Amino acid sequence: MSSQNKIAIVTGGSRGIGKDIVLNLAKNGLDIVFTYNSQKEAADEVVNQIEQLGQRGIALKLDVSDAASFDGFIKTLAAALQSQLNAHRFDFLINNAGFIHYAEFETLTEEQFTEMENVHLKGPFFLTQKLLPQINRFGGIVNVSSGLTRFATPGFAAYAAFKGAMETLTKYQAQELGKRNIRVNVIAPGAIETDIMGGAVRDNVEMNKYLASQTALGRVGLPEDIGGVVAFLCSDAAGWVNAQRIEISGGSNL
Ligand code: NDP
């Protein structure tokens, strides 16, 4: 017997963009497993919010930058799916978790480079590969990139390069997973007011004003601008949307 509701797995669902994705998927009637890295209390609060929406939510700890931990995570996930959702498989995977080391090309260290490579490229690559056998036919994957792959802003060279790699990977995944009827798309948010980079986009008034001035709709983005688009991509209405990069930036740097 399997769960009647579709199930999504969202990495980094405890805060920011990932949290809004989780809540919008729950509003669409999906049950959710999401991961957090360090903030268990925030994750527990998100579980409460999912339950208030009438869905089931499970928070699991996962360091997406530690590929060696994925086999253990998958065992934990399988046990949670079985015991709490009566399921062995799931439908959608959202690769969202991440952080940024802000530094210009000349100064970024090798350690910072590797940390971002692990969380933004190696982690999503191998997590998706290892989870693939559990993704149902007619399911999907949404990768999270950034507007910074289209326009160059000083301080994000390595970060944007890894996000660009995820956009290329999205195309290859869509091509190879089409035979399983799994769709793969990538969203590219513009600057969004979250905790990332110490909350700079939200809390640095000068930066916020500048970013708003570079955006056709005249403000920076909020987490609430993002989740509904991902929920659409994880719905039947988007059944013919595949291998697309969808920028969600209010028209930034046009
Ligand atoms: P936040 O800092 O608000 O949230 C980050 C989330 O990722 C948290 O849930 C956090 O878990 C989790 N996380 C961080 N590091 C790891 C890790 N090593 N392993 C597992 N989980 C981790 O960030 P945003 O919501 O802003 O960012 C989400 C995604 O969106 C990222 O991929 C980011 O690059 C991308 N993005 C963000 C933009 C922005 O302007 N905010 C613009 C474009 C893309 P915990 O709560 O436990 O720490």
To test the pocket of ligand 1, the residue of 32, 118, 192, 214 to mutate (highest count of ligand atoms within 8 Å of its CB) is 192
Q: Token match 């970024």: residue?
A: 108
pTM, to two decimals: 0.98
Q: Are the C-beta atoms of residues 211 and 201 closer than 8 Å to each other?
A: yes
How large is the angle between the packed helices 157-177 and 123-131, nearest 10 degrees?
Answer: 20
Task: Give the H or E element holding residue 29.
Answer: none
Residues 9-39: tens digit of each pLDDT = 999 999 999 999 999 999 999 999 999 999 9
The C-alpha atoms of residue 49 and residue 45 are separated, in whole angstroms, by: 6
Percent of the chain topping pLDDT 70: 99
To test the pocket of ligand 1, the residue of 17, 120, 122 to mutate (highest count of ligand atoms within 8 Å of its CB) is 17
Residue 19 alpha carbon, nearest atom of ligand 1: 9
Residue nearest to atom 14 of ligand 1 (CA): 98
The C-alpha atoms of residue 244 and residue 253 are separated, in whole angstroms, by: 20
Catalytically annotated residues: 159
What are the structural domains of the chain? Answer: 7-189+226-248 (3.40.50.720)
- pLDDT at residue 1 above 50? no
pLDDT of residue 208: 98
Residues 42-96: tens digit of each pLDDT = 999 999 999 999 999 999 999 999 999 999 999 999 999 999 999 999 999 999 9
Confidence of residue 2 (pLDDT cuts 50, 70, 90): very low
Q: In this structure, what are the phi and psi dihedrals at residue 197, rounded to the nearest 5 degrees?
A: 55, 45
pLDDT of residue 251: 98
Residues 152-165: tens digit of each pLDDT = 999 999 999 999 99
- In single-letter form, the type of residue at position 40 comes to K
- Report the separation in Å between the CA atom of 13 and the middle of ligand 1, taken as the mean of its atom positions: 8
- In single-letter form, the type of residue at position 20 comes to D
Task: Decide whether any atom of ligand 1 lies within 6 Å of the 15 Cβ.
Answer: yes
Tokens of 2: 């399997």
- In single-letter form, the type of residue at position 212 comes to A
Q: What is the mean pLDDT of the chain?
A: 97
| Sheet containing strand 57-61, strands side by side | 57-61, 31-36, 7-10, 90-95, 135-144, 183-189, 245-248
pLDDT of residue 4: 84
As a whole number, mean pLDDT of residues 96-122 equals 98
